[in-house]
A and B are shown apart, each in its own frame.
Chain A
Amino acid sequence: DAMVIQNPRYQVTQFGKPVTLSCSQTLNHNVMYWYQQKSSQAPKLLFHYYDKDFNNEADTPDNFQSRRPNTSFCFLDIRSPGLGDAAMYLCATSRVSGGNQPQHFGDGTRLSIL
């Protein structure tokens, strides 16, 4: 089945130690998104890639970076995680082509900071 896959599902890192979360998709969608979700709050968009074009949300901390080496993969890098970065990180994809299309989400990576 075509899907959005996030690895790992659970990640534990130390305060200040860089961590990378990964997302892959088999949907061949041209847009990939990274969200941060805390507790039961609404997902908060961090940034997205429209093909190779990177788009950062204005309030996304510089501590968060992203890479998209090809259509299928996208990575979220947190350079120096703080305690406040503990959250669920969701990857999503969509196909932007002449009409509204829903975003399809992976199951997320839950990040814990020690």
Chain B
Amino acid sequence: KAGVTQTPRYLIKTRGQQVTLSCSPISGHRSVSWYQQTPGQGLQFLFEYFSETQRNKGNFPGRFSGRQFSNSRSEMNVSTLELGDSALYLCASSSMTGNTGELFFGEGSRLTVL
């Protein structure tokens, strides 16, 4: 079974630009979560989607948004990029509909903002 696939793996943007990251979950998984990982703040929850609905959201500004498609693939978008948005963005999928936290992570998209 293929794992969680994130694209692109690496990207470089400049301040003020926007970026879209993509995540394809494990086949059959309907929940997709996004996390930001930075050296200073560690791993922080961004949001979670299930059946195209955002069920949970972390404490990030409105510049961070996401969506999920009917095939469970998900995208996240960051607008008006700031230097502090440089991070590894991790997507995770889950087959559970409840709150067990058994997540399967992709390898991440590493964003560098110059």
Asked if A and B are interacting partners, one says no
